[in-house]
Amino acid sequence: MTGDVRRDIILINECLGIGEVALSDHRSSQPTREELEKVLTQARLGGMLSGKAGVVQFHMGVGKRGIDVLLAIVRETEIPARHFIPTHVNRAFHLFEQAKEFARLGGYVDITSGIREQDGFPACVKPSDAIKILYEEGVPMDKVTMSSDANGCMSVTLPDGSQKQLAVSPDSFQEEVKDALLAGVPTEVVAKVVSSNPAQANGLYPQKGCLQADSDADLIIYSDSYDVDTVIAKGQIMVAAGEALVKGTFEK
């Protein structure tokens, strides 16, 4: 916005970092390793000078290279792994395997709740299964996050190389949280993956991601069957007994 990403992070309050940079994807601009290192360095310096996270979000495609270049940068440079956040890491099996290694090196990895077989992704790892596998294999769970990708439209490559656009269900996030809990992942682990972990990854903790004095009063209360009962945002009750109390302009 100002012509310099480091300056953007320093001067614009809402700017926490850079993203999304597409990798291993047909839509990627195919940045070189040197270009990625420069982008990461600019984000890091901007974050250091502004007191922000200075992170770079990476949109991961299904290309065979996966996150090879990010693993190499973490291993071979002085750029801390905490500035990298590859997302959609459950969209392909080989990518998910690399994500385990990346988290063990100290980087954050983000699972996308709408990448599921029923949504048109036959070669993916179901989000709740991904959480369970990472937990059972001893991957540092404080480095794992799950997000909805803003319920954006995900595309799937068909056998002929064409693209199929898919509208992702807005319910996928809650469904995968519930499935992870029903699969036996401890409540405190699932809670961190969708609350304190993303807040810390993006430098928003403790204003977000926890309940304590001076933090935003954001809270979801679940029923015994793991369905959403109550939602409180900044102290205002938005949902009670499963019914929305606050609605948008075009909602009834």
Q: Which domains does the chain have, with CATH numbers?
A: 5-213 (3.20.20.140), 217-252 (no CATH)
pTM for this structure? 0.91
Segment 108-131, tens digit of pLDDT? 999 999 999 988 888 999 999 999
Q: What is the pLDDT of residue 1?
A: 82
Whether 128 and 179 have beta carbons less than 8 Å apart is answered as: yes
Residue 95's H or E segment, with its range, is helix 93-104
> Has 149 been annotated as catalytic?
yes
Q: Cα 88–64–36 angle (5° rounding)?
A: 70
pLDDT at 167 over 60: no
DSSP β-bridge partners for residue 232: 219, 237
| Residue in 129, 149, 179, 218 annotated catalytic | 149
Average pLDDT on 91-112 reads 97
Q: How confident is the model at residue 27 (pLDDT cuts 50, 70, 90)?
A: confident
Sheet order of strands, 228-233 included: 219-222, 228-233, 236-240, 243-244
214 is written with which tokens?
């001076």
Backbone φ and ψ of 117, nearest 5°:
-60, -40
Kindly report which listed range (19-23, 87-91, 118-122, 225-229) carries the lowest average pLDDT score.
Answer: 118-122
Q: What integer is the mean pLDDT of 44-71?
A: 96
Say if CB 72 and CB 33 are below 8 A apart.
yes
